[in-house]
Amino acid sequence: MKRVLVLPGDGIGPEIVAEAVKVIQCLRERHGLELVLEEALVGGAAYDATGQPLPAETLERARAADAVLLGAVGGRKWEGLDISVRPEKGLLGLREGLQLFANLRPAILYPQLADASSLRPEVVAGLDIMIVRELTGGIYFGQPRGVRTGADGRREGFNTLVYDETEIRRIGRVAFGIARARNGRLCSVDKANVLECTELWREVMTELAAEYPDVELSHMYVDNAAMQLVRSPKQFDVVVTTNLFGDILSDEAAMLTGSIGMLPSASLDADGKGMYEPIHGSAPDIAGQGVANPLATILSVAMMLRYSLGEEALARRIETAVGEVLDQGLRTPDIAAADSRVVGTREMGDAVVAALS
């Protein structure tokens, strides 16, 4: 039996995760999903209970599980802590400890929410992009790094952008696989005209393309990609890029949809085990008020079913149910328009469960 570890975390984390768990329970009771759910502490909640944002027991149980569902971590309460025990360290520790090198960030704009974007509806309506970001390498991890003071007393900050071909091939295979399962189009984003490291990136992606004749590979420089994303975002289907470029472009793409509370994400290891979480943070400004949008977390469950649990049909059921709820005009305050029926976190979760039933 598959096991899923649930980590509610901090702020709105427990509120939105509770709704996602309701959805999982509905699938278990009514749609034959077989799954064991466990729960553990992470982030500020774990720090308060144990003095560590990622207790060894949590990491061990995450390693033993088939997938991890995370709410969010962090909050003002823990901002003054030493960086080594801040809640966000819990998240980084999980990514590192589970070797989650592939970050999948869909940017989907449900047609019902086209007005939520700051771009014109005709530019973004129906947008459906998947950004595949390398998550455990590149300039965020390269050595040497630091700030040093030269003989003349001037301080110098430095980081290292480094990828070996194995790392590039590994993330490339994930992206080609996803492109193959979608529309067969993959755009690799780099800065090969300036950075040798991404010149190698481009070479390796091009070599890989020979293994995926059914996928059409294109290349784009990152500055152009940033521009094209706001000019004509629907030209993209699957995008693969480095850790740093992916960090920036995936946030840009998310913002095209205008609704941070709607977007899920997945981080996968080499065997398809993954951690699933909404892209937003713990939203301390609205925590405890019952108004947070749980749909990003519920859609993260759909990604979990698709990428780690081999349950594509159930994943689609959830996505369809979310579409139906939006069709009914139900909106949490973050996505509400003048004529919507504004509901709270729980009502939104209940509505998805009702649509699933």
Q: Which residues, 6 or more positions from 141, have their beta carbon under 8 angstroms from its beta carbon?
A: 243
* Residue number with CB closer to ligand NAD (220 or 263): 263
Q: How far is the CB of 88 from ligand NAD (least distance, A)?
A: 5
Q: Are 292 and 346 in contact (CB under 8 A)?
A: no
Least Å distance, CB 144 to ligand NAD, is: 27
Give yes or no: 2 in active site.
no
- Interactions with ligand NAD, residue window 242-281 (CB under 6 A): 260-261, 277, 280-281
Q: 189 pairs with which residues across the strands?
A: 220, 241
- Decide if residue 91 touches ligand NAD (CB under 6 A): yes
190 is a catalytic site residue: no
The catalytically annotated residue of 22, 89, 191, 273 is: 191
| Residue 110: active-site member | no
Specify whether 247 is catalytic: yes
CA atoms within 13 A on the CB side of 86: 10
Kindly tell me which residue out of 46, 109, 254, 286 binds ligand NAD, with binding defined by CB under 6 A: 286
Q: Is 293 in the site for ligand NAD (CB under 6 A)?
A: yes
Binding of residue 298 to ligand NAD (CB under 6 A): no
Distance between CA atoms of residues 90 and 96, nearest Å: 10
Which pairing describes strands 102-108 and 146-149: parallel, antiparallel, or unpaired? Answer: unpaired
Question: Does 134 contact ligand NAD by CB under 6 A?
Answer: no
11-50: contacts with ligand NAD (CB under 6 A):
12, 16
The one catalytic residue in 10, 247, 276, 307 is 247
Residue 235 DSSP class: G
55-74: contacts with ligand NAD (CB under 6 A): 72-74
Q: Which residue in 14, 142, 184, 284 binds ligand NAD (CB under 6 A)?
A: 284
Q: Which of 197, 208, 229, 292 binds ligand NAD (CB under 6 A)?
A: 292
- In the shown chain, the binding pattern of residues 196 to 225 toward ligand NAD, with x for contact by CB under 6 A and - for none, equals ------------------------------
Alpha-carbon distance values, 58 to 41, 233, 292, 338 (Å): 6, 39, 26, 43
Q: Is 285 among the residues known to form the active site?
A: no
Choose the catalytic residue: 2, 77, 140, 350. Answer: 140
Helices (H), the chain: 13-30, 43-50, 56-64, 87-97, 121-124, 165-181, 196-209, 222-231, 243-256, 295-307, 312-327, 345-356
Under the criterion CB under 6 A, does residue 121 sit at the interface with ligand NAD? Answer: no
> 50 exposed, middle or buried (CB, 10 Å; 0-12, 13-18, 19+)?
middle
Supply the angle between the helices 312-327 and 345-356 in degrees, to the nearest 10: 120
Question: Considering only CA atoms, which of 307, 236, 274, 301 is closest in space to residue 25?
Answer: 301
Query: How far is the C-alpha of 238 from the C-alpha of 104, rounded, in Å?
Result: 10
Active site residues: 140, 191, 223, 247, 251
Contact residues toward ligand NAD (CB under 6 A) are 12, 16, 72-75, 88, 91, 260-261, 277, 280-286, 292-293, 296, 334
